[in-house]
Amino acid sequence: MFTKDLVYIFTILEAIEKIFIYSLKFEKADEFYWENDQINFNATVNLLIAIGEEVKKIDNSLKFHYQNIHWKEIGGLRDKITHNYRGIDPTIIWSVIKDELPTLKIALISMLKKIDIENSLIKELINNPYYKHITYLVKNDEKSIN
């Protein structure tokens, strides 16, 4: 059950880790927004779009167990970014990074424990270079969720 959700969750977790990397050295929204000709900010916004799209695909009965997560708002942020690019408020994006993504990450890792996953599928996904920032999901010698 929920095996299809594994790829969505892995993709979201990878996006979260990349956002954390892109925003790590900054203390304020304005610094993050203007630094590096906005490359870090723009990459983050693109990843937030991906997160919002993938969240919409996760089975609702799985999301039901995590009502502290604002699932509709995550998808809604994706829609707002996509349709109003010039109107993106860097302080909102910064707040999402600092206040919302850590909670989402914890919920997604917890979700993985509810999914019946074949070890071969986990190994295949984790060995994919796309998911190189979420190898913490597996134990050192095993390919199973911690």
pLDDT tens digits along 72-107 = 999 999 988 988 867 789 999 999 999 999 999 999
Residue with tokens 């206040």: 99
Given the residues 65, 70, 83, 86, select the one marked as catalytic: 83
Give start and end residues of each alpha helix (H) in 60-133.
60-63, 71-83, 90-95, 101-112, 119-126
Q: Which residue has the tokens 């999901």?
A: 137
Q: What angle do CA 24, 85, 10 make, to 5 degrees?
A: 50
Q: Is 65 a catalytic residue?
A: no
Expressed as residue numbers, the domain containing 42 is 3-137
Asked whether residue 142 is domain-assigned, the answer is no
pLDDT of residue 126: 86
Residue 88 in domain: yes
Q: What is the pLDDT of residue 139?
A: 64
User: How many domains does the structure of the chain reveal?
Assistant: 1
Q: Which entry of 65, 78, 86, 133 is annotated as an active-site residue?
A: 78
Three-state secondary structure call for residue 138: strand
HSE, CB side, 13 Å, CA atoms: give it for residue 126: 19
In a domain, 130, yes or no: yes
77 burial type by CB count under 10 A (0-12 exposed, 13-18 middle, 19+ buried) = buried
In the residue annotation, 83 being an active-site residue is answered as: yes
Place of tokens 């956002």: 19
> Is 143 within a domain?
no
The verdict on residue 23 lying in a domain is: yes
Nearest of 137, 109, 105 to residue 145 by alpha carbon: 137
Q: At what angle do helices 39-57 and 71-83 cross, to 10 degrees?
A: 130
Is the pTM higher than 0.85?
yes
Pick out the chain residues at pLDDT < 70. Answer: 1-2, 85, 139-146
What is d(CA 22, CA 101) in angstroms, rounded to the nearest whole number?
A: 13
Rounded CA-CA distance 55/59 in Å is 9
